[in-house]
Structure 1
């Protein structure tokens, strides 16, 4: 019988529980604490996830894995992280048959690894590189627990700190970037600044990643080192792995990075805000056009109206209609007007149901459950008009100069204080970007001007359509 070559878990009992039952329960708890759908599962081509102990970065990692379809079938999962213990030229792939965790064994695509080594001088096998390296290992229990199928992985540990070499490695790895493979890039963000510096600098690094420009990201990280921020050792510990992914997709149209969740170790250890480590997750997704045809828009408006009428036990029939756009998972807002005056506006950024289902729910919520307005009465149905805003993904920005009035909505977050304005709010009030943000902070999020200074600011695209008429019963 052939002897299996198994890479044993090296950080079980330290970074995560060595007990299988405890490990499963901890992952379930982490997954249950995060939104399940910030992006559509079938658009995900790569995830960027942290690799610290689960008590510190587990929730951020879970925010990425929770986006996947649990029944998704991948030919292989390409795991890429940067070495914490060794420096060497190129990238080392593991040739052991399996990785083992307390949840069992995971198969390694050894034949593909050998093929890559044979075809590129920059892809090597250095066994000692993989023995104690945790950045890939800590991803496996999430994959084992969350995905309902047998896994095959290609473990790759980056050793190079040369941009020229990373470009050469890109040439060898790029053919693997297909719809049938999932890439997982393992990296933490800032190491050891104080809490406030971490929040500020990690937001800027996240914005650089979102721009999908590897040269720009590298220049940013170099400038970060030159600024001598107290305590800061690195702004992105797995920068070479992130850079590899960016080089893979930089010349490909139709991809975007969607930030999912940010935390740092200070959020978990409230008594230690002096030396923190930052964690940010991303999904790299294929961009999908928000636009939909006139029939799809009319259908969404009609089913929104139908939902409100049915709340009052009124008959309102809508012919069946099928369109790809209304089946997608998207965020949305529904606004309800009576005789042209706003009487409710409710929405969500989390696309946790198909758009057609979400619109039905939001329509009733806006008409009957927006505490800022009087509820709609049955007598007012004759004078009802509706407006629907379909939302693109949130994109973190570092400067309000990125806001385009009339195009972008904004979302602000500072701790538990959050607020959003749709694009039309700025246009209707004649605000510039500064006024747009300030009014959102003070009127919607309840922030002071001081709190706004270090709040997270996001933008998002929308398409907006309305019926602009009153229907008779």
Structure 2
């Protein structure tokens, strides 16, 4: 029935598209801004000079955010320069550029995980480490087609380069429903909590589209009220009610979710529109907004977080059975043999459970960071073979990482998850967070989340199911039928449990 091999990201199955260090070309050069480097430099110099006196963000602010427009520079360039002037000459350790998806219609959040975004001023490298963290968390896919014709990231990059130089950045094209922004924002809160470096988040958006100037100002003012109040839900509701408009809603709500958690201060530097250049009675609104905060407090440790079912957690040494110890030793023996070029070892395992056929995941970590994880959701062969197969695959076949080297073995921590059989779900209230993992299949995708994931991230059942939809490449809520409460007729959902044990208690 089930024959899927799943990649797992810290025990989360993810969708990964090989972008193989691609450089995305500067497709908007000579359309939205000059393609000639000298002309672009001259234009940017003038825009930053004419921006006037913009108070810089405090150097002790470790969390900084910008909202900036992405229209042609003759329309919105001056407003963008005012936002970026607030950070000119400052250093940031991590940069996220939150764009949108104007064209592809995909329901996903796509990250460009390696390579670069090209510009006439030079390529801006992708921050591969930070990008893979988001892939590992299961909130993103890596889909180059979602970025191919999208301009909202590219158009802001020359301003970013002018302000802070060619800093590695995380490039996110946020498609799908308005809830995707908040989901991403919650994940960014987890990633940035307790960070000691300086973090910059840039949300790219234009505001009201093609109204007269008076109506545009009214619409934009309503949206900026929610921005100043750090209210992502209020902004979404205002958009849905037609009280405000912005094309980059998801990027802005992601930014607001982070800044709300940090209790950031907000400065609306400018709100304007295209009337000065467009020569039309219908205008597009633009805004420059700056956020700053001391940072995010450290996330709660696992000891501080309530766990609802100890069966899904790694077991310390004094709670391990002989089966657990034998399985972990089998994985380590296999890795030592294979990675030292001696081939797959023949194992003699005593516990009768190794003769059973069941799903299994093998996770490899170094200092708590994922180094590889692949699993089967249903056994094709006895467990003794399955754990060897998945151990080798996790070490050598996970496409997100180079193959594990023999000299890394001393630092590797091994964790094994043995899965129960799949149980079809007919009612959503059957699902118990902390006990159940879930597998969803709905055309055109499928996704799996292991039982420990929602407890690690503090999700309730609805959030768990929405992330499962994202894992399947579907919009949040795709599992629901027309009534918004029951399972959709074309969705297939299974639950399962997992017995998780490892060499190192997390």
TM-score (norm 1): 0.54
3-state DSSP class of the match of 2:236?
Answer: helix
The higher-RCO structure (CA 8 Å, 6+ apart) is 2
**Deviations along 1:123-145, whole A, 9 cap, x unmatched?**
11111011111101011111222
1:257 has 2:275 as partner: no
In structure 1, the partner of 2:376 is none
Question: Do the aligned residues in 1 keep the contact of 2:226 with 2:235 (CA within 8 Å)?
Answer: yes
Q: Following the alignment from structure 1 to structure 2, what is the Cα–Cα distance between the partners of residues 29 and 9?
A: 22
The question of whether the paired residues in 2 share the 8 Å contact of 1:7 and 1:96 is answered with no
Provide structure 1 residue ranges, at least 5 long, that are not aligned to the other structure.
226-233, 289-473
The Cα of 1:20 is off from its aligned counterpart by: 0.4
1:74-89 equivalences in 2 (<5 Å): 74-89=92-107
**1:113-163, Cα deviation, whole Å (9 max, x unpaired):** 22321221x21111101111110101111122232x441110001012142
Alignment partners' CA distance in 1, 2:178 and 2:226:
19
CA contact (8 A) 1:79 1:156 kept: yes
Trace 1:151-300 onto structure 2 (pairs within 5 A): 151-163=167-179, 165-177=180-192, 178=195, 179-224=197-242, 235-253=245-263, 255-269=264-278, 271-273=279-281, 275-286=282-293
- C-alpha separation between the residues in 1 aligned to 2:276 and 2:218? 14
SS in 1 for 2:183: helix
Confirm or deny: 8 A CA contact 1:41 1:69 kept in the other structure: no
- Number of aligned positions between the proteins: 271
How far the C-alpha of 1:281 sits from its partner, in A, is: 0.8
What is the aligned-residue RMSD (CA, Å)?
2.1
- Is the 8 Å Cα contact of residues 186 and 257 (structure 2) preserved in structure 1? no
2:80 paired with 1:95: no
**Does residue 1:23 correspond to 2:40, yes or no?**
yes
Instruction: Confirm whether residue 45 of structure 1 aligns to residue 27 of structure 2.
Output: no
Closer, same or farther: CA 87–174 of 1 in aligned 2, 3 Å: farther
Q: How far apart, in 2, do the equivalents of 1:6 and 1:79 lie?
A: 16
> Residue 36 of structure 1 aligns with which residue?
53
Shift of the 143–223 alpha-carbon distance from structure 1 to 2, 3 Å rule, reads same
Give the match's secondary structure for 1:104. coil
Match of 2:133 in 1: 115
**Equivalent in the alignment of 1:55:** 74
The offset of 1:174, in angstroms, is: 1.9
1:250-280 deviation digits (Å, cap 9, x = unpaired): 2333x122101121111223x312x210000
Alignment deviations for residues 14-68 of structure 1 (CA, whole Å, 9 cap, x no partner):
0000000000000010001112323534246100000001000000000011111
CA contact (8 A) 2:54 2:82 kept: no
Is the CA contact 2:74–2:277 (under 8 Å) kept in the aligned structure 1?
Answer: yes
- Give the SS at the match of 2:209: coil
Map of 1:430 onto structure 2: none
For residues 267 and 199 of structure 1, the distance between their equivalents in structure 2, rounded to whole angstroms, comes to 14
